[in-house]
Amino acid sequence: MNGLECLIKELQTHVKVCPQLVGMEDLFVHIERSSHPNFGDLTTNIALQYSKTLGVNPIELAEEIAAHLGGVSLSGIAKIEVRKPGFINFYFSDEFLSTNVADVVEQGANFGRGEKLKGQRWVVEHTSPNPNKAMHLGHLRNNLVGMSLYRVLQWNGATVTTDEIDNNRGIAIAKVMYGFLAHMKKDSDLPTEVSAWLAHKNQWFTPEEKGVGPDVFVTECYVLGEKTTKENEAAEKFTRQLVVDWEHGDTAVRELWEHVLSYAYAGIEKTLNRLDSHFDRVWHEHEHYQEGKQYVEAGLEKGIFQKLEDGAVLTNLESSYGLPDTILLKRDGTALYITQDIALTARKKKEYNADKLVWVVGPDQSLAMKQVFAVCEQLGIGELEDFTHVSYGYVGLKAGDGGFQKMSSREGTVVLIDDVIDAVKAKIEANESALERNHELVPDLSEKLAIAAVKFAILKPDRTQDLTFDINQSVNVHGDSGVYVMYSYVRAKSILEKYGREVLAQNVVGVKVGGEKELLRSLAFFPNVIERSLVDLSAHHVATYLLEISSAFNSWYGSESILDGSDREIYKLAVVQATSQVLKNGLAILGIQTVERM
RNA sequence: GCCCUUGUAGUUCAAUGGAUAGAACGGCUCACUCCUAACGAGCUGAUGUAGGUUCGAUUCCUACCAGGGGCACCA
């Protein structure tokens, strides 16, 4: 348990035994961070909450409680005050603040870790890019939300597995295959036939020959394939036949399928590696797409589902869950996405012995997810409360009129992840003087800073809100940005490097806190921020908090020399050490690796 | 039609039912012989509308206005 948590527990205990409140049922003493430094560091509204029930004036009640607390010894609290309309405010003592600095220095990379989820196993599914398109900003948000959630859960003590689904079969991939055959041949006289490609593979372009990345190449195949199949009936029929042949295991078609997929995978992998993404498990659709039917059958036998006249199977969610019903099995007996989802959910639950399953999926799937969860509960696979759809807002672009505009492949407004990172990288590299200072000391500095800037920009807003992406504004290099946080870290490290010796936690005892007070106050709340991120399943609290720390640190840095040769120097160095540590830990949760110089 | 969801400075984002609604960008000042100015200090400026619940509402409820998403054999 961290210092802040202990202090809050201690306060709660003392408030509870306060004579005015001692008999109350279900008494919960809410102690939270004060909204403004003028109101202390911690605050409780307990007097406001219970004054009515007790029939007393809130201020008087607050004063009585404060008087009671004043009578007990609390080393963490320097001052208690009552403010209208009835808040009790607590001020941290210098001892508490400096002890916390020592804790950070001592616990290092573990400072902030909690045990709320200790012993729990979580599975987080995220990203799941379809291998027919290059990854764009929507995928980026999904990936960053997923990966940051993965770390938030770990920091709260859970054992976490991440997985994704590779939707590598079906009509979309067939369109890629067709688009490749029909539009990527070097000689237009060549027939658009799988056999022709098989016999003369070198007569079809590769991404290298086209001068584009493999993901862009696949996107082109898909877009052209979709366009042609829409316009041309023969092409449409051909593409449908590809799906059928693929299902029958036609070796030629399978070979073409693997060929186009290899390009898609290469592109996806390149982008995901750049983001430092990670999956413990990848479910390839071609391996499981027929699973799930037995669950539907079982549900039919138990009378949970009903068979329609045409043979399709329908859910029964309306009465018990208040959800619209949906088809679980097509009339021809084949599976749908939801059928597969049921099977996969059962497998995940079993294989990972999972307590909680999380799906990071866009908001358009909200109803579908609810239906999957409900059906899984009906089938006894798990309980509703074990399943969570972690949704996220759309990433849009700024429209001409200043409004929100969804990305559209038809209108060519889809922004690719790699393009964004490259653009930010170019922006960073435009700052030549700064780069010259360090480009030989830190390899790939501009790439690292660009990744930091992009990740921070996407993770800073609440994940549920739509995000208007404007590369000039969203990915700041100044102000509220990943680069700013990184810069603050580098500044801190620079001081420590100049000092050149190890900074010890013991150097902190018995000091009087000065201009660094605001910084110390913020540092104490880091574990609390990680808990809040768990409650909301959103890492944006961490991002906001890192800005707060950075700002407080830079403000202090500007007002005071740290290496001043005074007897406070060694203590101030511990504060710098603690700051850099918290920045590093917080950035790690966001998936941003620090650099030591920039 | 039904269900879900969003509306905060000029712009991009914050604010676990609390107190004086915070930042950043932009604009206007100030500041660089000093541990990294990719910095710091100051000024400017906002809760869609109308009710309700509450000691207290950006937050909860209702209606309206304006966006976005979804609604059975697509993925």
Q: Terminal CA-to-CA distance of chain A, rounded, Å? A: 35
Q: How far apart are CA A272 and CA A306, in angstroms?
A: 42
| A212 SS3 class | coil
Is residue A308 left, alpha or beta, with left meaning phi > 0 and alpha meaning psi from -120 to 50? beta
Instruction: Determine whether the distance from the CB of A61 to the nearest atom of strand B is below 7 Å.
Output: no
> For chain A, percent helix, then strand, then coil, each to nearest 5?
55, 10, 35
Q: Give pLDDT tens digits along chain A (598 positions).
A: 789 999 999 999 999 988 888 877 778 899 999 999 999 999 999 999 999 888 889 999 999 999 999 999 899 999 999 998 999 999 999 999 999 999 999 999 999 999 999 999 999 999 999 999 999 999 999 999 999 999 999 999 999 999 999 999 999 999 999 999 999 999 999 999 999 999 999 999 999 999 999 999 999 999 999 999 999 999 999 999 999 999 999 999 999 999 999 999 999 999 999 999 999 999 999 999 988 999 999 999 999 999 999 999 999 999 899 999 999 999 999 999 999 999 999 999 999 999 999 999 999 999 999 999 999 999 999 999 999 999 999 999 887 777 788 888 878 889 999 999 999 999 998 887 777 776 677 889 999 999 999 999 999 999 999 999 888 778 888 899 999 999 999 999 999 999 999 998 887 888 899 999 999 999 999 999 999 999 999 999 999 999 999 999 999 999 999 999 888 999 999 999 999 999 999 999 999 999 999 9
In A283-409, alpha helices (H) = 285-288, 293-301, 318-321, 337-351, 366-378
Place of tokens 């800037």: A453
A562 C-beta less than 7 Å away from strand B? yes
Is A532 (CB) below 7 Å from strand B? Answer: yes
Instruction: Answer for A438: CB within 7 Å of strand B.
Output: yes
Kindly report the bases of strand B lying within 7 A of a protein C-beta atom.
Answer: 3-7, 11-16, 18-20, 22-26, 34-41, 54-56, 67-75
Scanning residues 266 through 305 of protein chain A, those with a beta carbon under 7 Å from any atom of strand B turn out to be none
Q: Is the dihedral of CA A259, A264, A265, A269 positive or negative?
A: positive
| ipTM of the prediction | 0.96
Q: How far is the CA of A411 from the C1' of B44 (A)?
A: 39
Question: Are residues A267 and A134 in contact, defined by beta-carbon separation less than 8 angstroms?
Answer: yes
Alpha helices in A500-591 (DSSP H): 517-523, 526-536, 540-559, 569-589
Torsion of CA A415, A416, A421, A422, to 10 degrees: -90
What is Dmax (Cα atoms) for chain A? 95
Nearest nt (C1') to A469 (CA)?
A: B12
Distance separating alpha carbons of residues A28 and A376, to the nearest angstrom:
36
State the angle between helix axes of A540-559 and A569-589 in degrees (0 to 180), rounded to the nearest 10. 160
Cβ contact A499:A573 at 8 Å: yes
pLDDT of A439 reads 63
Question: Using an 8 Å Cβ cutoff, are A400 and A347 in contact?
Answer: no
Given a contact cutoff of 8 angstroms between Cβ atoms, the answer to whether A488 and A586 are in contact is no
> Nucleic chain B: which protein residues 16-35 of A have CB below 7 A from it?
32-35
Helix axes A417-429 and A445-459, enclosed angle (nearest 10) = 120
For strand B, is any atom closer than 7 Å to the CB of A478? yes
State if pTM tops 0.90. Answer: yes
Residue nearest to nucleotide B69 (CA to C1'): A364
CA of A23 to C1' of B75 (A): 59
Q: In what order do the strands lie in the sheet containing A313-314?
A: A306-307, A313-314, A327-329
- pLDDT reported for residue A401: 75
CA distances from A445 to A114, A140, A441 (A): 32, 21, 9
Burial class (CB in 10 A: 0-12, 13-18, 19+), A107: middle
Strands (E) in A152-221, as ranges, are 159-166
Does the C-beta of A247 come within 7 A of strand B? no
Collapsed DSSP state (helix, strand, coil) of residue A89: strand
Supply the angle between the helices A58-70 and A46-54 in degrees, to the nearest 10.
120
Other CB atoms within 10 A of residue A480 CB: 16
Query: How many residues can be counted in chain A?
Result: 598
Yes or no: say if A583 and A485 are a contact pair by the CB < 8 Å rule. Answer: yes
Q: What is the 3-state secondary structure (H, E, C) of A570-598?
A: HHHHHHHHHHHHHHHHHHHHCCCCCCCCC
- The token duo for A442 is 């830190």
Q: Which helix (H) or strand (E) holds A560?
A: none
Residue with token string 């102690």: A31
Q: How far apart are CA A139 and CA A398, in angstroms?
A: 18
For residues A180 and A193, the answer to whether their CB atoms sit within 8 Å is no
Query: What tokens appear for A587 in the block?
Result: 């950035």
**Complete DSSP assignment for A242-307:** HHHHHHTT-HHHHHHHHHHHHHHHHHHHHHHHHTT---SEEEEHHHHTTTTHHHHHHHHHTTSSEE
pLDDT for A438 equals 67
CA distance A126 to A143: 6
Relative to beta strand A87-92, strand A77-83 is antiparallel
Tokens of A418: 């790699």
Q: Return the DSSP state at A381.
A: S
Neighbours of A279 (CB within 10 A): 20
